[in-house]
Structure 1
Amino acid sequence: MSNQPTISHAVREGEPPSGSGYAKVLLIRTPSDEVAGMGLYFNNYSTWWAAPGVYLEDLFVLPEHRNKGYGKLLIGALAKEVKRIGGKRLEWCCLKWNKPSLDFYKMLGAEQMEDWVTLRADGEALDRLAGSADKVAKVQVDGK
């Protein structure tokens, strides 16, 4: 048993570490092999950089394991993943009211994107958009 935390991909039995689904999970474990937290992420692509990247969907460290550097290790591992795939950016969202997290991310060197606004369509709006595409053209996804 090591006296250092470990980071590994959480995968289903028989699934390759890179995963074949949409999301991938990095787990961080304490030196005693307890799961202390996780980062849920997926790959994206930047047309601005003409390069892939990583989007961090969720970062969570259990309350009893906070302020031990685990969050920083997870973010660092994700940055390393960006570099491994030849990517140019690691990005994520944070709620405006979550000052402790915003301060933490700023301390890591992350910058708030003041000129960008997150937009979302879900529920009825998503249903309407999906239906509107069929009214204009026959839309196929993966040949279906």
Structure 2
Amino acid sequence: MEIANKYPSMKPDEQARIQERMRAWVKLTPEQRMAARENFTRVMNLKPEQRSAQWQQYQQLSEEQKKQLAEQEAAKKKTVTNLPPEAQRKTVPLAPIKAVAPKRIVNPVPASQPAAAIVQLPAPPASASMPAATTNVAPASQAVAK
């Protein structure tokens, strides 16, 4: 956000550099982006003197040494898991799932009974230790539409 706010007041060459860096970032794979974020975090946790000293050491390396260092770091980060061949896997095929027709639900209350009979429950026995409910429920026939 900070860069975006500064962008309009930047010189054209600075704007071009930012655009080119954004294009390069977009081309990176998710793994490369994660590595860049980790590297940035690691470097930002260093003291400025340490950061400067490490940068100076890196700048003094030859191109061949830089390339070799990059290859060593890339080899450390590879964590690809090799799966065994199909013959070595011990998987058991599952049985196919059989389609079952849904059961038809039959209304146990005859249409001749009022709707209030559906929600009425028998009273608990007198020996029950639970307190009686105090909620009043109106029968469906008396319900008010809102």
Is the TM value for this pair above 0.5? no
Relative to its length, the structure with more strand (as a share) is: 1
Larger radius of gyration, structure 1 or 2?
Answer: 2
Ranked by relative contact order (alpha carbons within 8 Å, sequence separation 6 or more), the top structure is 1
TM-score with structure 2 setting the length = 0.18
TM-score, with structure 1 as normaliser: 0.18
